[in-house]
Structure 1
Amino acid sequence: MKTRAEMLARLPAVRREAIEKEARELILKEKVLRRLRTDQGLSQKAVAETMGIGQDCVSRLERRGDCLVSTMRDYVEAVGGHLRLVADFPGVGLVEIVAEDMRSLVQQERPTASNCNSAEADHLQLAHC
């Protein structure tokens, strides 16, 4: 079995650099989310209870490279913050996407386990984690 280093060495330099950059970003993101929680003196279990999900989902969220904006909002609110989403457009500048508008859209559009089949329900649970 080849080691990770051996497998990376066989890749083109551009691909290898992209993988290494993504790995650094994932590590940084995990540290940021964990730090937000621990700075507030909260355990993963406490955050999970506030969010209405399992502790394992909070653990995955802290390790993941991406998640739904609504999930990130729930996490930030569970640790006592308020999520602001700002887009930077050339020629326009910074535009804040208002959380209340997003919340109403998400509540209207997010399917629930009660109105979808079991495969979709499984996907919903994974998407929220």
Structure 2
Amino acid sequence: MTRLSGKIVETRGAEIGESELALGKRLRGLRTFAELTQADLAKRLGISQAALSKLEGRTDIHVSKVREYVEALGAQLHIGATFSSASEIGFRVLSAFDAEALDENQLVLPIYGDDAFRKHRDVVLSIKPQYSSKILTGEKTVELRRRFPLKVPKGTLAFIYSTTPDKALVGCAEIAAVTKERVPTIWRNLRDEACIEKADFDAYFDNQDHGFVLRFSKAKAFQNSIDLNELRSRFDFEAPQSFLYAKPLLREALRHELSELSDRY
């Protein structure tokens, strides 16, 4: 993925012939999109037009050369590896790094670029209303998940999306810790804090040996919940099946809401 003058241009491989996958050809397409001639770009790169023409005809190009090329276009080079979130390696990626979720089934781990290992971002958790209300009153202090990253930086917030029929962001809690434990141990030690019935617990962790425990602190309800229609129109938001990383604009708005709460109380 290349970011160019505020626009995002994606170059993706497909099940096509090698000639159509020629990296030089794709770079030439970016140059054309940027409305630069070979002479223009060759001057920026400090090489001859003939050398640039040869580069754009190659199928194999060093990453350093690709970076120089796209930076001369005024862009930034980012390289990522896409994993299935259901695969074992995808789960390890999710647990270890701040992987970007393309959707519920795919994760992208950035492997090249200034933001390859980004600082943490807050998360949005989808939680049923009977549980979300208990989190905000402090009765429920742990949330159980089949999968969740273990390495959560201190101060990470879980914004709580209360599912049907609420369909709204209703509050947040700080994630104090995340642990991975055997399912029987979770039930034995944490069933009261999780506020869950045995039948629901067994159904959720069916065929799972281990589960993840999110321990909450400092839970707060928003003064005004934000419903799904508003979330979609303002933040291009879609409710996750489990969780997602909060987009910067949404995160800023929600933290502003928290700041206003702190000022009032």
Which residue of the partner structure matches residue 56 of structure 2?
Answer: 62
Question: 1:50 Cα shift?
Answer: 1.1
Which residue of the partner structure matches residue 97 of structure 1?
Answer: 111
1:46 maps to 2:60: no
For the aligned residues, what is the CA RMSD? 2.6
In the alignment, residue 25 of structure 1 is paired with which amino acid?
L
Equivalent positions of 1:71-110 (< 5 A) are 71-88=65-82, 90-91=89-90, 92=93, 93-100=107-114
More strand by share: 2
How many residue pairs match? The answer is 81
In the alignment, residue 78 of structure 2 is paired with which amino acid?
R
Equivalent pair of 2:24/2:57 in contact (CA under 8 Å): yes
Deviation track 1:89-115 (CA, whole Å, cap 9, x = no partner) reads: 53224221243499xxxxxxxxxxxxx
Uncovered stretches (5+) of structure 2, i.e. residues with no partner: 1-15, 84-88, 94-106, 117-265
**TM-score, normalized by length of structure 1?**
0.52
Uncovered stretches (5+) of structure 1, i.e. residues with no partner: 1-19, 103-129
1:25 maps to 2:21: yes
Taking every aligned residue pair, what percent have the same amino acid on both sides?
Answer: 41
**TM-score, normalized by length of structure 2?**
0.27
Looking at structure 2, the residues matched to 101 and 53 of structure 1 have their Cα atoms a distance apart, in angstroms, of: 29
Deviation track 1:35-85 (CA, whole Å, cap 9, x = no partner) reads: 211222211111111112221121112111010101001111111211101
More helix by share: 1
- Aligned CA distance change for structure 1 residues 96 and 38 (closer, same or farther; 3 Å): same
